[in-house]
């Protein structure tokens, strides 16, 4: 399920035993963006995130899902409940095999958009989470991994 060759998508140690602690959904269209929001809401509620933290993770997931659909031509969101020592978190990876991002620094700049957006999806998401990782290659695709810890 976790594809080879994308370092951001490699599972961390010791988090694969209990089920269902991970999964994935396809991101093809608008209804999948709604589904990703609903799934992230459910997961953050299960993890007993505060309402503010739930909203942060849901907002980031929504923005990244939309980028996957709009710019990546579709892809998937993988989710994983992660345990590191005493802390529990939710990790999400948004992966597509689209055109990739030629200038990552520009894409991460507030207000920069190649289309008609506001250009705040990536930069805003980054601020809403604890861990943020963007891997992309032109002509190959993009994978953005985020995590938020309780």
Ligand X SMILES: Nc1ncnc2c1ncn2[C@@H]1O[C@H](COP(=O)(O)OP(=O)(O)OP(=O)(O)O)[C@@H](O)[C@H]1O
**Residue 119 interacts with Mg ion (CB under 5 A)?**
no
Report whether 74 contacts 27 (CB < 8 A).
yes
**Residue 136 interacts with Mg ion (CB under 5 A)?**
no
- State the minimum distance, in angstroms, from the CB of residue 121 to ligand X: 2
* Window of 22-30, 60-68, 101-109, 131-139 that interacts with Mg ion by CB under 5 A: 60-68
* Window of 21-29, 54-62, 77-85, 94-102 that interacts with ligand X by CB under 6 A: 94-102
Distance CA 117, CA 111 (A): 9
The helix or strand, by DSSP H or E, that contains position 117, with its residue range, turns out to be none
Report whether 21 contacts 87 (CB < 8 A).
no
74 binds, among ligand X, Mg ion, none (CB under 5 to 8 A by kind): none
**Residue 99 interacts with ligand X (CB under 6 A)?**
yes
Read off the tokens for 67: 């980028």
């Amino acid at each position: 399920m976790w594809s080879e060759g994308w370092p951001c998508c490699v599972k961390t140690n010791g988090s694969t035993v209990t089920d269902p602690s991970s999964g994935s959904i396809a991101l093809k269209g608008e209804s999948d963006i709604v589904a990703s929001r609903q799934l992230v809401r459910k997961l953050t509620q299960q993890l007993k995130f505060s309402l503010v933290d739930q909203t942060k993770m849901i907002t980031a997931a929504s923005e990244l899902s939309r980028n996957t659909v709009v710019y990546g031509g579709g892809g998937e969101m993988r989710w994983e409940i992660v345990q590191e020592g005493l802390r529990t978190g939710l990790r999400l990876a948004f992966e597509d095999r689209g055109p990739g991002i030629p200038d990552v620094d520009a894409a991460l700049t507030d207000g920069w958009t190649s289309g008609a957006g506001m250009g705040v999806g990536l930069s805003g998401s980054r601020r809403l989470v604890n861990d943020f990782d963007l891997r992309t290659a032109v002509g190959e695709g993009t994978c953005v991994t985020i995590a938020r810890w309780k």
